[in-house]
Amino acid sequence: MQKQEHPHKFMKYLRSERLPHIFCPGCGNGIVMNTIFNAIEMSDKDFDNISMVSGIGCSSRIPGYVKCDSLHTTHGRALAFATGLKIANSQQDVIVVTGDGDATSIGGNHLIHAARRNIDLTVICVNNDIYGMTGGQISPTSPEGSYATTAPYGSTDKPFNISEVAKAAGATYVAKYTTAQPVQVSMAIKDGLQNKGFSLIEVISACPTYYGRKNKIKTPTDMMNWFKQNTITLQQAENMSDEELVGKIVTGVYINKPRKEFVESLDDLIDKYSDIKSEENIKKAYMSD
Amino acid sequence: MEEKELFVQGNEACALGAISAGCRFFAGYPITPSTEIAEIMSKKLPTVGGHFVQMEDEISAVGAIIGASWAGQKVVTATSGPGVSLMQENIGYAAITETPIVVINMQRGSPSTGQPTRSAQADMMQARWGSHGDYEIIALAPSSVQECFDYTIKAFNLAEQYRVPVLVMADEIVGHMREKITIPSEIEVVPRTMPEKVDNYLPFDADDNSTTPMPAFAEGFNVHITGLTHDERGYPSTDDPDVHTKLVTRLCNKILSKRNEMALIETEFLDDADTIVISYGIPSRSALTAVKQAREKGLKVGYIKLGIVWPFPEEKLLELTANASRIIIPELNLGQIYLEVDRVLGKHAKVELISKIGGALHTPDEILSKILEE
């Protein structure tokens, strides 16, 4: 009998010639890709109008598999590149895929400033609490006491809460869910895409290969169960003490409060001080005058 | 546009040159002595439908201009030594991704924070070697306010022509000096060419020693741009020695093979010269005066000014100096381009350095004394 081909419904969005991908078995990046495509389809955005930008790390390899214009940049700098890409042609929808190390360690400065400006980017921060690409070192989100190749006695560092940082810095849409909640993640990315401003969706994701192995949560299913057992909502967290919150993943919409978007403010200046509209200058490098 | 005469600072001439070249995007971070370029761009760009953004640091400034370049803009940033040091990783990214960008370096006393308000030419080797790896860039060195304007335009055109980062290696003196400049009625601008949309489009399928037309994002090309070693499709290919060798060799040779063709050289009194003063940037002003004074004394002294320092126009210089036995090079550093001049010309001529650091320019007398030493 001939083998029947049943391509995945999202295969059309992939650079199929680049498969198989480099992600480990049990990695959360596949679920994240699914939620991104789901979100685009649920939103009013056109896939053909999307450009993706990423930094360095496992999750930053996602845009390389997506059939769109994609800019795989230097470590930590995805938001800086995306800022220029978006300002220079604000008609395109820009999705940034970044990890916990990329966005909050080496790129922490760019994260707070992109959020402060409220530039219209949808940032998907895939947080697996570890550096996967380099083989399992602690990241700024690794829980205190967790093990990594650079924390053989357990991490002594206090971790960042990425969503709280983004919210405090001025992001207008921030949500956090785990890869055990793909529907919620999809909805959040959709809302982020539709928010005209800086949106950050923190996705707590599984790295069984490094985080799991080092911290005795070895299999992908163990990691999923660990997420499920420790996930609480923002509402539940309100009535819990700091001690009770240790080890908990607090999920939900951290902020959804639109305000004036950055490129709109820049374009207002052009409207006020120039006879031409900013859109007349899109792709000006290709014009001969 | 009618020809115009202006009395402006070098920094302002750079800003005006950028806008004349079609630049509509600036990202930068304040730093002495280049801050005026950012200030002027923040004022002028909105009036011509362009965007200015003050970034959080110099690292993000280069990131933003590279992003904007892929969106289809001609882009520039301006900075000085400490900023250029921070920019290096992303300059290397622009080199491997073949992204046209212009970086203006108003050089100041260094290393580290050094002398923010004094001049130097001590970043000349950093301009070429500052980022890790084998790559080539183009660097120009203006010696006057007029050249700040002309060379900035030239920098944009070269960046487009070769798809490469181009550095305008000016200095504090030329940046803050005021001179009369002429804005010509016609300015030659090299536009970018959109590639043709064909099946199985290969964005990096270039012949040896060349590059390809650069696509823009949001045009339907679906290109993948990465700082990883990549093949003709733009896809990462990091394990194949042949792919890496082919890519990096091409990136270097597309510049090096054109070093004589793109040379920007001014000469005086070379015909019978047995001693030649070779200079670039601001010391050229004192050098030419000194050479003229030597000629008045009946000495056979010639003058060569390099407008483009990198790539170094080796064969062209060999040809111009074939009959000279002595070369003198004044620099505001402890000997950088001197090393390159000595490498290329040292076999047939004695190459001597007049080094000066601390912030003041060589006087014509200092150069003349050196000429008279023999």
- CA of A51 to nearest chain B CA: how many angstroms apart? 7
- Give per-residue burial for A40-64: e unless 16+ CB within 10 Å, then b: beebebeeeebbbbbbbbbbbbbbb
Q: CA A3, CA A6: separation in Å to the nearest integer? A: 9
The answer to the question of residue A273 being in a domain is no
Which residues in chain B are closer than 8 Å to A286, comparing Cβ atoms? 72, 191-194, 216
Which residues in chain B are closer than 8 Å to A281, comparing Cβ atoms? 24, 49-50, 73
Tens digit of each residue's pLDDT (9 = 90 or more) over B99-115: 999 999 999 999 999 99
Give the CATH number for residue A40. Answer: 3.40.50.970
Q: CA B239 → CA A17, A134, B245, distances in Å?
A: 18, 17, 11
For range B121-143, the mean pLDDT = 98
The answer to the question of residue B200 being in a domain is no
Q: Which secondary structure element, helix H or strand E, spans residue B7, and what is its range?
A: strand B4-9
| Domains contained in chain B, number | 2
Say what the pLDDT of residue A118 is: 98
The answer to the question of residue B71 being in a domain is yes
List the domain range (segments joined by +) for residue B82.
4-183
Give the other-Cβ count within 10 Å of A241's Cβ. 7
Say if residue B61 is in the same domain as residue B175: yes
Tens digit of each residue's pLDDT (9 = 90 or more) over A175-207: 999 999 999 999 999 999 999 999 999 999 999
Tokens for A118? Answer: 């409220």
3-state SS assignment for residue B204: coil
DSSP class of residue A151 equals B
Helix%, strand%, coil% for chain B, nearest 5: 35, 25, 40
Percent of chain B past pLDDT 70, that is, above it, reads 100
B63, A287: Cβ pair inside 8 Å?
A: no
Q: CA B8 → CA B11, B53, B148, B175, B230, distances in Å?
A: 8, 24, 11, 10, 45
Q: With bands split at pLDDT 50, 70 and 90, how would you rate the model's confidence at B374? A: confident
Give the other-Cβ count within 10 Å of A154's Cβ. 14
How many CB pairs (< 8 A) connect A and B?
184
Tens digit of each residue's pLDDT (9 = 90 or more) over A215-246: 999 999 999 999 999 999 999 999 999 999 99
Give the CATH number for residue B335. Answer: 3.40.50.920
Q: With bands split at pLDDT 50, 70 and 90, how would you rate the model's confidence at A288? A: confident
* pTM exceeds cut of 0.95: yes
Over 80: is that where the pLDDT of B281 sits?
yes
Dihedral angle sign, alpha carbons of residues B63, B68, B71, B74: negative
Percent of chain B past pLDDT 90, that is, above it, reads 99
3-state SS assignment for residue A229: helix
A82, B67: Cβ pair inside 8 Å?
A: yes
Note whether B151 and B160 are within 8 A (CB). no
- CA of B27 to nearest chain A CA: how many angstroms apart? 8
Say if residue B279 is in the same domain as residue B162: no
Note whether B39 and B76 are within 8 A (CB). no
The answer to the question of residue B260 being in a domain is no
The answer to the question of residue A95 being in a domain is yes
The answer to the question of residue A261 being in a domain is no
Average pLDDT, chain A: 97
Note whether A188 and A199 are within 8 A (CB). no
Say if residue B76 is in the same domain as residue B179: yes
A89, B75: Cβ pair inside 8 Å?
A: no
Find the closest chain A residue to B77 by CA distance: A84
Tens digit of each residue's pLDDT (9 = 90 or more) over A254-287: 999 999 999 999 999 999 999 999 999 999 999 9
B227, A280: Cβ pair inside 8 Å?
A: no
Average pLDDT, chain B: 98
| Domains contained in chain A, number | 1
Note whether B306 and B320 are within 8 A (CB). no
Q: CA B297, CA B189: separation in Å to the nearest integer? A: 43
Say if residue B169 is in the same domain as residue B278: no
Say if residue B270 is in the same domain as residue B177: no
A287, B47: Cβ pair inside 8 Å?
A: no
Backbone dihedral angles phi then psi of residue B232, each to the nearest 5 degrees: -60, -30
Say what the pLDDT of residue B290 is: 98
Tokens for B51? Answer: 């965007």
The answer to the question of residue B27 being in a domain is yes
Give the CATH number for residue B12. Answer: 3.40.50.970
Note whether B59 and B84 are within 8 A (CB). no
Find the closest chain A residue to B61 by CA distance: A80
Looking at the DSSP bridge assignments, the partners of residue B47 are none
The answer to the question of residue B288 being in a domain is yes
Tens digit of each residue's pLDDT (9 = 90 or more) over A37-56: 999 999 999 999 999 999 99
A64, B227: Cβ pair inside 8 Å?
A: no
DSSP class of residue A105 equals I
Nearest by CB to residue B224, choosing from A64, A81, A286, is A64
List the domain range (segments joined by +) for residue A20.
12-255
Q: With bands split at pLDDT 50, 70 and 90, how would you rate the model's confidence at A1? A: low
The answer to the question of residue A48 being in a domain is yes
The answer to the question of residue A260 being in a domain is no
Q: Which of A200, A204, A179 is nearest to A191 (CA)?
A: A200
Q: With bands split at pLDDT 50, 70 and 90, how would you rate the model's confidence at B347? A: very high
B217, A285: Cβ pair inside 8 Å?
A: no
B224, A53: Cβ pair inside 8 Å?
A: no
3-state SS assignment for residue A133: coil
Say if residue B144 is in the same domain as residue B16: yes
Over 90: is that where the pLDDT of B256 sits?
yes
3-state SS assignment for residue A114: helix
Q: Which of B273, B42, B97 is nearest to A74 (CA)?
A: B97
DSSP class of residue A175 equals E
Note whether A60 and A106 are within 8 A (CB). no
Burial of A70 (0-12, 13-18, 19+ CB in 10 A): buried
For chain A, where are the E strands, in sequence order?
50-54, 69-72, 93-99, 122-127, 130-131, 137-138, 173-178, 199-204, 231-233, 249-256
The answer to the question of residue B254 being in a domain is no
Q: CA B39, CA B363: separation in Å to the nearest integer? A: 32
Tens digit of each residue's pLDDT (9 = 90 or more) over B291-346: 999 999 999 999 999 999 999 999 999 999 999 999 999 999 999 999 999 999 99
For range A99-112, the mean pLDDT = 98
